[in-house]
Amino acid sequence: MKKTYLVTKSQSDLELFKKLLPEKIVNDTSFATAPSRSSARSLARTLLAVKLRPLALVVDADTNDASSVRELRALLQELLHCASPGIESEVFLAVPEMESLFLQDRTFLEKLAARKFSDAEWKAAELKPRKFLCDVFGEESHISERLLGSLNEQTILKMQGHPLVSNLCKFLSSVADITD
């Protein structure tokens, strides 16, 4: 039986986390997706209320503003808590977008793009990673597939060091241990 849930807003995000999280966590977790942040929030609330299992909600913050990120996280956390008090849940926000995880390894992206990025391009990438990756690699629907298929061990390790991934991993590990 799966011990935890992870809800995110797209199949590509789900596939990314399956690559980045340790195998034991992947095996202990049921993954679910919804087409938008609001749908993901609704699905997470339903799963908490019906399944009564610990849950992580991982969505884009869609902003770099620290105050807005804190506010959104607090709001989403409160909505999850109200759905099922006493059941562990946590909100994880990708700032500004999930695609920022790919920016953890500049060399990987430069090799894949077959060119070097200027510091100005890289700064712009950090502010709007999805737009940057679309500009460099083409259509959004193919970017994740191309990047996921090209990930190497070194890049995966760098991505696992990102606070979003490391904190998600800690949370899922801790709640899985509690439910044993």
Q: Mark whether 94 and 36 lie in a shared domain.
A: yes
pLDDT tens-digit map of 141-150: 678 888 999 9
The fraction of the chain above a pLDDT of 70, given in percent, is 98
Q: Mark whether 137 and 93 lie in a shared domain.
A: no
Q: Mark whether 94 and 108 lie in a shared domain.
A: no
Counting beta carbons within 10 angstroms of the beta carbon of residue 131, is it exposed (0 to 12), middle (13 to 18) or buried (19 or more)?
middle
Q: Mark whether 15 and 86 lie in a shared domain.
A: yes
Q: pLDDT category, 105, cuts 50, 70, 90? A: very high
Q: Mark whether 25 and 85 lie in a shared domain.
A: yes
**What range does the domain containing 75 cover?**
4-98+162-178
Which DSSP helix (H) or strand (E) runs through 93?
Answer: strand 89-94
pLDDT tens-digit map of 110-127: 999 999 999 999 999 999
Q: Mark whether 84 and 17 lie in a shared domain.
A: yes
Question: Given a cut of 90, is residue 176 above it in pLDDT?
Answer: no
- Altogether, the residues listed in the chain come to a count of 180
Query: What total of structural domains would you count in the chain?
Result: 2
Name residue 100's beta-bridge partners: none
Question: Given a cut of 70, is residue 180 above it in pLDDT?
Answer: no
Question: What is the reported pTM?
Answer: 0.94
Distance (Å) of CA 128 to CA 19, 48, 161? 23, 32, 20
